[in-house]
């Protein structure tokens, strides 16, 4: 299957393939350069995904780092490592109410104080109530590129942004929506069901 680049992939990624070309007469160095070029290119991959079932889908690939109840609403946080796909997907059909970019620091995304990092805050109107989603940049990530803005209607699993390099995505679920994952579980954006409506298997 061809490697599909994500929307927002920087043009300079193509330059990563220049060293392997220049080092074609130096096999040992060329192997290392090829590995590095492949890793950088793979970071911006955008694979197709098929939802595993009904419910709210994971917005990001990665490790669920926190699941907790906050004032009657469930909070689910996912940490993305450098090797994860960094295309964010919307968990459920919704309309974008607000979208706010906040300047901040670039601490490690898995740190407890990473909430002060640069971030993109979303408020989404869903059939089950308001869903809040926050995308954080990390120590390496320096840019979050949204594909849609306020007023846009999006379908379940649709691609909505690209976070460049390591990062984190937090969800504050609507009231009555309960998590279907636990801390330490690995999830895949647009594929893994992370929450369901209380008393129902659909969302």
Q: What is the pLDDT of residues 48-73, one digit of tens each?
A: 988 878 899 999 999 999 999 999 99
Domain contains 108:
yes
pTM equals 0.82
d(CA 109, CA 79): 7
- Catalytic center residues: 167
Looking at the fold, whether 121 and 28 belong to one and the same domain comes out as: no
pLDDT reading at 106 higher than 80: no
Phi and psi torsions of 13, nearest 5°: -60, -35
pLDDT reading at 123 higher than 80: yes
Looking at the fold, whether 97 and 163 belong to one and the same domain comes out as: yes
Domain contains 24:
yes
Looking at the fold, whether 107 and 29 belong to one and the same domain comes out as: no
Yes or no: say if 160 and 25 are a contact pair by the CB < 8 Å rule. Answer: no
pLDDT (mean) for 6-34:
69
- Give Rg (Cα) of the chain: 18
pLDDT reading at 110 higher than 50: yes
Q: How many domains does the chain have?
A: 2
Looking at the fold, whether 73 and 155 belong to one and the same domain comes out as: yes
Domain hosting 68: range is 56-197
Of 13-17, 41-45, 123-127, which has the strongest mean pLDDT?
123-127
d(CA 35, CA 32): 5
């Amino acid at each position: 299957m061809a490697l599909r680049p994500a929307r927002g992939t920087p043009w300079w990624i193509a330059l990563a393939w220049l060293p392997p070309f220049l080092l074609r007469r130096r096999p040992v160095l060329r192997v290392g350069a090829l590995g590095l070029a492949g890793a950088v290119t793979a970071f911006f991959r955008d694979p197709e995904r098929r939802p595993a079932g009904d419910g709210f889908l994971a917005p990001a690939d990665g490790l669920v780092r926190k699941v907790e109840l906050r004032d009657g609403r469930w909070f689910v946080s996912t940490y993305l490592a450098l090797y994860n796909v960094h295309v964010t997907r919307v968990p459920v059909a919704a309309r974008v109410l607000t979208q706010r970019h906040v300047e901040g620091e670039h601490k490690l995304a898995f740190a407890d104080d990473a909430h002060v990092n640069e971030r993109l805050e979303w408020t989404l109107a869903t059939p089950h109530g308001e869903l809040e989603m926050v995308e954080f940049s990390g120590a390496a990530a320096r840019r979050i590129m949204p594909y849609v803005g306020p007023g846009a209607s999006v379908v379940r699993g649709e691609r909505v942004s690209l976070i460049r390099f390591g990062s984190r995505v937090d969800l504050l679920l609507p009231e009555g929506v309960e998590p279907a994952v636990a801390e330490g579980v690995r999830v895949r954006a647009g594929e893994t069901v992370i929450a369901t409506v209380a008393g129902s298997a659909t969302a």
